[in-house]
Structure 1
Amino acid sequence: MEGNLVLLSAGLDSVVNFLMAMEKGGVGAAITVYYGQKAGRREVEKARELCDHYGVKHMVLEALWLGEVSGDAL
């Protein structure tokens, strides 16, 4: 894998970070963390669409325990 590894939630900050990484050496892969948040499935979908558009490998890390521990579904 060549390029940067980016955490991508599909929110504005992480999308800007993704695009900046694309300009500075490219993105080898992006990871979206799904922990059961209310908008989580939509975030995963939008992050995947962004990665598909730029031809970047997208991975989803399921961490459902995080939502259980925090007690907050955001």
Structure 2
Amino acid sequence: MDSRTVAGLLGTIVVTVVAALGLYGFTNGYLIESPGDPDLFAPSIGVLAVAVAFVLALSAVGARSSRWLENPYW
């Protein structure tokens, strides 16, 4: 395995761990221990939806790029 493969694997593991911690926090905070003010649930879902849409949009832009490996940085 070369360094790019190891770095990609490490990045994937880090993203998975962060997503799992976020899911745990959301589940623990909203679904199991319901907060005293349920009015915050809808804005939280809205922020989550905007964040997911933003990440997916950035991924789509990066995946459609034809020059991403032509950069001398790589």
TM exceeding 0.5: no
Bigger Cα Rg: 2
Q: Which has the higher contact order (CA 8 A, sep 6+)?
A: 1
Structure with the largest fraction of helix: 2
TM-score by length of 2: 0.31
